[in-house]
Amino acid sequence: MNDNPMNPVTSFIGRAGVGSASVGRGGASSTDGGSWYEAMSKAWGQTLDGQAAKITNLSDVIGSGGDQPSNMVKLTAESLKMQFMSNNAATSQNSVGQALETLGKRQ
């Protein structure tokens, strides 16, 4: 697999870890004018889009006669990776959303 180690999610996490994404009351990111929560959502979306493209490409290869076992295993692995990433995206979005809701109730 030829994965880019700096995909949008890891890039976001790296920026958030060093404090370049603002988490203040306005929550504006220094790069796009949106909140850090929005930046996280966009990063997950871009990452999931990229993974979906890999699955689509492998499916096209298989559909056009490349139905060797190695391609089938690759498709299965990429599909499971997509499931894992999708579950993590939903979990992180829900957890952060609940935390923000809790903070909002305390103010």
Whole-model pTM over 0.85: no
pLDDT at 29 (0 to 100): 42
29-78 pLDDT, tens digit each: 445 567 888 899 999 999 999 999 999 999 999 999 999 999 999 999 99
pLDDT at 9 (0 to 100): 59
Nearest residue to 47 via CA among 71, 12, 17: 12
- In this structure, what token pair is assigned to residue 75? 């498709």
Q: What is the DSSP letter of 32?
A: T
Domain ranges of the chain: 27-102
